Every structure is written in structure tokens, then in C-alpha cells.
């Protein structure tokens, strides 16, 4: 594709993206698609002969665009939002154009150095001390994997050199997190060879926050049994209910027990850019590592996860391997080759889109939008609390509301209420106007409205509430 053909097609692509964003509300957020029906729309055989970009883009508009779940739709209130903001999309385009592999300083000096700058910007914006350095990864799952890999090294297991197999004298490694912690923590334990059973799920309280006394007891019992505690994961903003673990109390235990403390703030961490809202984060500045996902609530297109740590050396101990072909003369000078801190070699230039969008929004612009989401969630929680036909099932510290409808016919019967609320959520989602998800809280089906989409306005939340009441009445 010569540059002139690229220019013409590129303008067409930008038009298609702008049209999509402008008209995204004409789509059902969750399109009704029969599972397995899409593959048949595409040929089985790859094309032998070249096709025109015009034909390919037309097929894109016909076959791809309508068949996505529309994360960019302002009625997307399911899961935690990932919105691709305009400046974020432009950053992705420029990243693709430059095509850098940021594995070594030499292979992308500016990607490497701008990553350091952007990590510093975010760290300051979050109100964290200079002692934190860090890097950008694809997802919180990877960030937590890296953090626990580093914790495993810092805990003296020497696993990166010796592995864990056939070393019975080590004792069983142990990682602690609440029953509400994200599955990525368990997956990290699987992947790091610690095993799923190395993760001790510590009991949470009635508000779904980890109970520090239970944590201290679990560690004590494990030490007594000859196990080997290595890390604690505290969550600020759990996936189900957005509950907040008491990080300061957990940090006390981590310090006393000399354990790595990792804070998973993948979703809620963005709130810490608002100084007045840093209460739930108290104590996170004492962590060894913290993950915050710009691709959740900082309007960054997938993928971008920020891993901050005070202990870059432990990351390097866990993941550095430099064969001859990756040795560069620059190694003699104080430059950083980020691949040494991560399991993978090739790295995207993620700092570019963050640099662009942080400048375009300004911290003030980001704060204002996050604040609006928090206010919308408080408003929805207020409507629920004011209506005896509805029951809120968890506190709302950020922008996610969990609740259920108390169908009169099923009052007091949790199993029937579960089925009723599942049917209610499906009915609301079938309207296509909004998309809600669910979870289980205290073993009850909870409808979950997560507000965090850049384009969500008050009218979308009002409409969600209207649809919920309307469909609840229709279900009887």
C-alpha cells in the first residue's frame, strides 16, 4: 500500500470511526446474535488474490461493526467500562504508524523514555510518593502476575533460576487475598507455578472487605504448618461490589510479617487522581506494588495497565534474561530495557496514547468526568434506597451499584428472587438501550450497574432505572 493509497484509505477509516462514534446509539448495546452464526459470514478459505481496500472496508462496516458488543455505547453499564476516547484512538493510530517494538531502549528510545515520563505523570496524579517507579503492561492480569512473580523472588524462593518443582524443603508458598479478589490473582498463582491452592482466600466482612484479623490468623496458621507466606493482595474496588479492603491495616500486617503487599486497584485506582476522594486508598502508598488500569476508568483504549512498584529490582530478578542478541552497547549507559521486567520480550508503545490523552483531557478534565460518574452512581443508589420494591446489596464507594428487585411474589425466597432478577436483567438487556451485568453477593443474585463509560450521560442512567422498573412491573 503506497503512501498515497494509504492516505486515501486512512481518511476513509477515520470517517468510519467518527461516524461510528457519532451514531453508536443506533445500535443495540448488546446485539442479538446467535452464538456461532458469525463465522459463517466469512469465507473459509483465505483469499488467493489481493482485494481492494474499499471492498474490505465495506465488509468491515457490514460484517464487523454491527456485530460487536458496543463498549463505546453510552448505555454500556456492564462490567467495568473500557472506553476508547478520541485522543486515545488517535494515539493508537499513531502507535500503529510508528510500529515500534519497545523491548529495548535501542529499538525505541522515545517509547522507553516517554514510558518513564508517563508513568511518573500518572504516579504523581495518583498522589503516590517518588519511591514508586513502574511500567505499562497490557492488562491488570499481567501486572498482577509480574508483581507476584517479583514477590516470589523477593521472598527468597529463587524460582526464576531454580523453579519450584522438586524442592520440598521450601514449604508451600502462600499468597493471601480476600474471597472477593479478582480471579487474575488466582490465575497468576497458577501461571507462576505456585498453584491455585497456594492462594488463601481470606474471609470478607458484611461489606465485602477483607477482614485483617482473619488475614493475620491465616498467616499465623500457615507459618505454624511450615508453609511459606510470600505476598498479600489487597483490593481497592473489587470486581463484584467495588468493596475496599482496609489497606492500611493490611499494610501493618505485611510489614510485620515481611510480606510483599500488592494492591489491585485496576478499576477504582483512577479515582485517586481526585485528591478529595483518596480516603479509600489510605495506606496504598505503603504497598510494594499497585496496579491501576487506564483502560478501565481513564478512557484509554485497550490495552493499558499501569504497574507501579517500589521494587523494580525484584521485577528484574524475576524476569530478566539477556541473551547475546539482545545485548546492546547502550547497556553500559544508564538506560532501561523494559523487557527485563516482564515475561514477554516485544512491547507496544503504550505511553504514546497516554501522553496524548493526558494532555488532551488534562487531569482536571479526567477528574471532572470521573466525578460525574460517581455522582450518577450515587443518584441511582438514592433512587434504589428510596423505593421499598428494590434492595441495594452493597455500599457504593465509587461508581458501581449492586441491587435486586424484591418481587412481591417471591418475597423472602432467595432462590425465586434470584431467578426473577436474572429474568429482569435479561429483559432490560433485550431492549438494547442499556447493557447491565450481574454478580452474586452474599449468595444472592445482584444486578450490577457500573458507570464509567466516557459518553454516559444522566439520561442513560435515568433510562436504565426506568427500564428496570418497567420490566420489573411487566414480569410481575
- Binding residues among 333-392 for ligand PLP as defined by CB under 6 A: none
Contact 104, 113 (CB under 8 A): no
Q: Answer whether 202's CB lies under 8 Å from 177's CB.
A: yes
Contact string 56-85 vs ligand PLP (x = CB under 6 A): ------------------------x-----
How far is Cα 206 from Cα 344, in angstroms, rounded to an integer? Answer: 40
Name which of residues 218 to 237 contact ligand PLP (CB under 6 A): 235, 237
**Min dist. Cβ of residue 400 to ligand PLP (A):** 10
Q: Does 260 bind ligand PLP (CB under 6 A)?
A: no
Q: How far apart are CA 162 and CA 169, in angstroms?
A: 13
Pair 222, 249: CB distance under 8 Å: no
Number of residues counted as binding ligand PLP (CB under 6 A): 15
Closer CB to ligand PLP, residue 267 or residue 349?
267
- Minimal distance in Å, beta carbon 297 to ligand PLP? 10
Helices marked H in 24-108 — which ranges? 53-59, 86-98
Smallest distance, Å, CB 267 to ligand PLP? 5
Site membership for ligand PLP, residue 400 (CB under 6 A) = no
Q: Does 311 bind ligand PLP (CB under 6 A)?
A: no
Among 27, 182, 348, 404, binds ligand PLP (CB under 6 A): 182
Q: Which of these, 176, 174, 149, lies nearest to 161 by C-alpha position?
A: 149
Task: Report in angstroms how near the CB of residue 246 gets to ligand PLP at its nearest.
Answer: 16
Q: Which residue has the cell 510494594?
A: 288
Asked if 141 interacts with ligand PLP (CB under 6 A), we say yes
- Cell (9 digits) for 368: 471532572
Based on the shown chain and the rule CB under 6 A, indicate whether residue 211 belongs to the binding site for ligand PLP.
no
Binder of ligand PLP out of 100, 139, 191, 437 (CB under 6 A): 139
Q: Which is nearer to ligand PLP, 149 or 432 (CB)?
A: 149
Judged by CB under 6 A, the stretch of 136-144, 152-160, 374-382, 409-417 that binds ligand PLP is: 136-144
Which of 92, 115, 153, 264 touches ligand PLP by CB under 6 A? 264
Beta bridge mates, 444: 441
CA of 27: how far to CAs of 217, 433, 455, in Å?
52, 8, 15
Nearer to ligand PLP, 219 or 307 (CB): 307
Rounded-to-integer distance, Cα 161 and Cα 193, Å = 13
Phi, psi of 199, deg, nearest 5: -85, 120
Is 140 a binding residue for ligand PLP by CB under 6 A? The answer is yes
- What's the chain's Rg over C-alpha atoms? 24
Rounded-to-integer distance, Cα 185 and Cα 189, Å: 6
Q: Which residue has the cell 478520541?
A: 86
Toward ligand PLP, which CB reaches closer, 13 or 302?
302
H or E stretch covering 135: strand 133-137
Among 95, 184, 421, 439, binds ligand PLP (CB under 6 A): 184
What burial class does residue 238 get, using C-beta atoms within 10 Å of its C-beta: 0-12 exposed, 13-18 middle, 19+ buried? buried
Q: Where are the beta strands (DSSP E) in 181-259?
A: 199-202, 228-235
Three-state DSSP state, 22? helix
Question: Least Å distance between CB 438 and ligand PLP?
Answer: 14
Angle between the N-to-C axes of helices 109-125 and 351-385, in degrees from 0 to 180, rounded to the nearest 10: 30
- Interface with ligand PLP includes 266 (CB under 6 A)? yes
Candidates 138-146, 282-290, 306-314, 361-369: pick the segment binding ligand PLP (CB under 6 A): 138-146
Residues in the site for ligand PLP, rule: CB under 6 A?
A: 80, 139-141, 182, 184, 235, 237-239, 264, 266-267, 293, 305
Amino acid at each position: 500500500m503506497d503512501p498515497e493509497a494509504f492516505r486515501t484509505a486512512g481518511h476513509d477509516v477515520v470517517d468510519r470511526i467518527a461516524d461510528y462514534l457519532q451514531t453508536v446509539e443506533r445500535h443495540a448495546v448488546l446485539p442479538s446474535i446467535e452464538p456461532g452464526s458469525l463465522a459463517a459470514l466469512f469465507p473459509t478459505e483465505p483469499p488467493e488474490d489481493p482485494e481492494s481496500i474499499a471492498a474490505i472496508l465495506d465488509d468491515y462496516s457490514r460484517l464487523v461493526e454491527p456485530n460487536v458488543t458496543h463498549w463505546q455505547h453510552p448505555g454500556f453499564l456492564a462490567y467495568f467500562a473500557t472506553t476508547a476516547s478520541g485522543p486515545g484512538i488517535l494515539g493508537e493510530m499513531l502507535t500503529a504508524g510508528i510500529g515500534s517494538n519497545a523491548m529495548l531502549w535501542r529499538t525505541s528510545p522515545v517509547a522507553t523514555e516517554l514510558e518513564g515520563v508517563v508513568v511518573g505523570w500518572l504516579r504523581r496524579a495518583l498522589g503516590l510518593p517518588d519511591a514508586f517507579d513502574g511500567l505499562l503492561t497490557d492488562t491488570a492480569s499481567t501486572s498482577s502476575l509480574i508483581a507476584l512473580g517479583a514477590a516470589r523472588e523477593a521472598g527468597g524462593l529463587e524460582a526464576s533460576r531454580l523453579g519450584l518443582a522438586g524442592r520440598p524443603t521450601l514449604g508451600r508458598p502462600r499468597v493471601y487475598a480476600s474471597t472477593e479478589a479478582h480471579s487474575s490473582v488466582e490465575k497468576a498463582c497458577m501461571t507462576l507455578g505456585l498453584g491455585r491452592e497456594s492462594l488463601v482466600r481470606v474471609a470478607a466482612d458484611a461489606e465485602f472487605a477483607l477482614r485483617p484479623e482473619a488475614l493475620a490468623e491465616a498467616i499465623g496458621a500457615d507459618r505454624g504448618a511450615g508453609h511459606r507466606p510470600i505476598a498479600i493482595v489487597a483490593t481497592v474496588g473489587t470486581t463484584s461490589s467495588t468493596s475496599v479492603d482496609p489497606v492500611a491495616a493490611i499494610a501493618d500486617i505485611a510489614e510485620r510479617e515481611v510480606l510483599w503487599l500488592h494492591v489491585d486497584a485496576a478499576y477504582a485506582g483512577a479515582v485517586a487522581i481526585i485528591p478529595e476522594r483518596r480516603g479509600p486508598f489510605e495506606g496504598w502508598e505503603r504497598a510494594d506494588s499497585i496496579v491501576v488500569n487506564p483502560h478501565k476508568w481513564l478512557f484509554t483504549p485497550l490495552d493499558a495497565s499501569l504497574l507501579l512498584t517500589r521494587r523494580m529490582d525484584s521485577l528484574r530478578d524475576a524476569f530478566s534474561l539477556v541473551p547475546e542478541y539482545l545485548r546492546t552497547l547502550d547497556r553500559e549507559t544508564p538506560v532501561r530495557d523494559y523487557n527485563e521486567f516482564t515475561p514477554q520480550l516485544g512491547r507496544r508503545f503504550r505511553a504514546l496514547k497516554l501522553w496524548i490523552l493526558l494532555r488532551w483531557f488534562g487531569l482536571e478534565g479526567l477528574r471532572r468526568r470521573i466525578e460525574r460518574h460517581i455522582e450518577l452512581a450515587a443518584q441511582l443508589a438514592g433512587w434504589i434506597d428510596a423505593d421499598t420494591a428494590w434492595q441495594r446489596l452493597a455500599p457504593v464507594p465509587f461508581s458501581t451499584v449492586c441491587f435486586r428487585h424484591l418481587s412481591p411474589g417471591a418475597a423472602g425466597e432467595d432462590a425465586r428472587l434470584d431467578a426473577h432478577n436474572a429474568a429482569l436483567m435479561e429483559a432490560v438487556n433485550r431492549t438494547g438501550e442499556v447493557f447491565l451485568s450481574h454478580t452474586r453477593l452474599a449468595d444472592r443474585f445482584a444486578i450490577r450497574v457500573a458507570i464509567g463509560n466516557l459518553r454516559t450521560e444522566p439520561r442513560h442512567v435515568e433510562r436504565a432505572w426506568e427500564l428496570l422498573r418497567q420490566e420489573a412491573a411487566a414480569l410481575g
